[in-house]
Structure 1
């Protein structure tokens, strides 16, 4: 229900709602961990449990389960080192320094992730600061409780959705590209060189969003191993499309740099196609899940690409150079929408796009048939949902392999 409510909001509203939703999950996990440690295990001050759960649930989406495991590793290492140092040296001025150093050095020697290194040091600090060796087992139970609660929240109650993670990163990148192109179109309209340089800077910042997109792609590679096969295929296909955003971001940046260095008479005729492509990219950002939106974006981009090519003029002019650069942007948009690059190039030559954009999700009919076959097997009925037809009892009774 919460996800459906979030999906109905605008882009900015969705981001705010998602942030609030994730904060509520982190709060609930920390509270649940504290309650379990306090009232189930009867620990008077179970600080490790809520800290571990809360920190794990504030990690990036798709990495929260892995974060919980790494936090547990760090806590266990820090508890062990802290307890050993206290047992050997007791409470003293050098105990804290030695505990922190040994924790950090051991985590580094094991080539642990940064969160493991930090958590090991923090845990050893807490152990030495409290100075109570008798509570070592209690702290271990608290750490296990916090990590366990975090895994329940991140893997069972609110598991990661690979396609949603990818779409969110794609939307952010597309919004940034559309914003940079809007500034560029304004610069062309006003013949403002400083505004054109500002557009170059905005499009250069798109690289940060593309880095985030790559990180999400790597995370999804791990996550898709645990999802249904048909969902994994959808995610892999969308990941391949998302990789074209790298090319789109690079071509937009190159085009903006060329516009910023061109003369007024050369770039003035590009305002309309730039605004057209900006509208196309903005529509993609708002409708990545919609096949019709992707198809319209591909068709509109192809139309702009062919028209730009036709109006380019002699190949050795600056205007033609800009036109071909803008055509590259349009080509990258069509490719990102889901059309194979070879088909895009052929469509530009012929002026017609024969290939259709593939569906963004599993076709309903295919899912319907799959569900029908599964229910038929579970109920022991040889029903097949093909065009709404059902095999008659007389035929099923005489089917091959049935008595």
Structure 2
């Protein structure tokens, strides 16, 4: 538990630091430009706009402004119609803001922000009089969102490769867990029910859906941020990897499904193979930026596929399908790790020899720079030291 908490903190530490600095900058700018009010919403707007996945921070800032505009207009209209800032104005303002946002089909965050803006507009009018909270709040929102856009699109655009690999690792972990459970069930002669297969399919669909959304966001971010000034190669390469990962997930499901229909003797023979495939997937998910991790996964998958061999010509359809599933999973693992498909096919036909995994593309800290420091060599040593210290 403590290790998982530490991993989450270190993963998002850079985003937290950006949000803290953006809040201070927004507060300072709003306080200097707008006199006579407390610019509390400017830092709030900056943090809210940045508090989302890296590829959506720019869109989140636009959503924030949209909600603020709806809320302020609804709040001011409610004050005029009711002649004050009482309970009636509050109810009317919130209702108008949410209805208008729903009418144009915006995201839920815009609806909530519109309601919050209408509430603050009416409450400030009721407590301080004059009804001037709306324009000041809109100015604060513009400043906060502007600061967020400068941070997210110009200075520190999202580390798209790191984001995609983190989601890829989650999907790989789900696949590994599925094969791990399936391998243990084969040893115990447990039947994998259709309900369990549906559960596995649901567990895999969530990270796959998130991965597809992240890939779509990454394409928008590359076009609209300073990433386009740098080297787009790593991002484009990671986009191609996602297609391979989807195929790998389908192969794992196919393997888990076919093993459920095998005889008891065949299950005992296949159990260690399935477990080794799960181990290879866990190794990949542990550090996708490590060439050594990818190499270990490729070697494990290749050995397992060779050891299981191909089904004979007189084998029954279930056995033939299972042999095919093992080969498909091994092939997809190796292709995902960076081996060309032609090399994988040749390696599977041979009894000896191995495959050399290329170095994965680096993860730049500042994507708008073409030059990247050689941090991969440092990372190569650090994961082995970290694992050895556990």
Q: TM-score range by the shorter chain?
A: 0.7 to 0.9
Distance 2:32 2:102 in 1: 36
State how 1:84-123 maps to structure 2 within 5 Å.
Answer: 84-91=77-84, 92-123=86-117
TM-score by length of 2: 0.78
Partner residue, 2:62: 69
Name the counterpart of 2:50.
Answer: 57
CA distance in 1 between partners of 2:303 and 2:159 (Å): 35
Deviations 1:321-370 (A, max 9, x none): 3222222211221221223445534543456789854442279xxxxxx9
The two structures, once aligned, show a CA RMSD in angstroms of 3.3
Q: Compute the displacement of 1:257 (Å).
A: 2.6
TM-score by length of 1: 0.76
CA deviation map 1:289-347 (0-9, x unaligned) = 23343344334423433432336673325333322222221122122122344553454
Query: Across the two proteins, how many residue pairs are aligned to each other?
Result: 357
Q: Which residue of 2 aligns with 1:210?
A: 208
- 3-state SS of 2:232 partner: helix
Q: Distance in 1 between matches of 2:22 and 2:66?
A: 19
Paired with 2:229 and 2:357, the residues of 1 have a C-alpha distance of 21
Structure 1 outlier segments of 4+, above 6 Å: 9-12, 194-197, 352-355
Point out where structure 1 has 5 or more consecutive residues left out of the alignment: 1-8, 364-369, 372-403
1:293 matched to 2:300? The reply is no
Query: For the residues of structure 1 that align with 2:108 and 2:197, how far apart are their CA atoms?
Result: 36
Q: CA distance change for structure 1 residues 353 and 243 in 2, over 3 Å: closer, same or farther?
A: farther
Shift of the 206–119 alpha-carbon distance from structure 1 to 2, 3 Å rule, reads same
CA distance in 1 between partners of 2:7 and 2:36 (Å):
39
Q: 2:119 is matched with which residue?
A: 125
Structure 1 residues 174-323: aligned runs within 5 Å: 174-193=172-191, 201-202=199-200, 204-225=202-223, 226=225, 227-228=227-228, 231-310=231-310, 314-323=314-323
**Could you report, residue by residue, the CA deviation over 1:23-74 in whole angstroms, capped at 9, with x for unpaired residues?**
4544554454345434663454334223312221221222112211220122
Q: C-alpha distance in 1, partners of 2:105/2:43? A: 26
Higher relative contact order (CA 8 A, sep 6+): 2
Q: 2:385 — aligned with what?
A: none
How far off its partner does 1:267 sit?
A: 0.9
- Aligned CA distance change for structure 1 residues 137 and 164 (closer, same or farther; 3 Å): same
Is the Cα contact below 8 Å between 1:183 and 1:198 reproduced in 2?
no
The alpha-carbon distance between structure 1 residues 21 and 200, as it changes in their structure 2 partners (threshold 3 A), is same
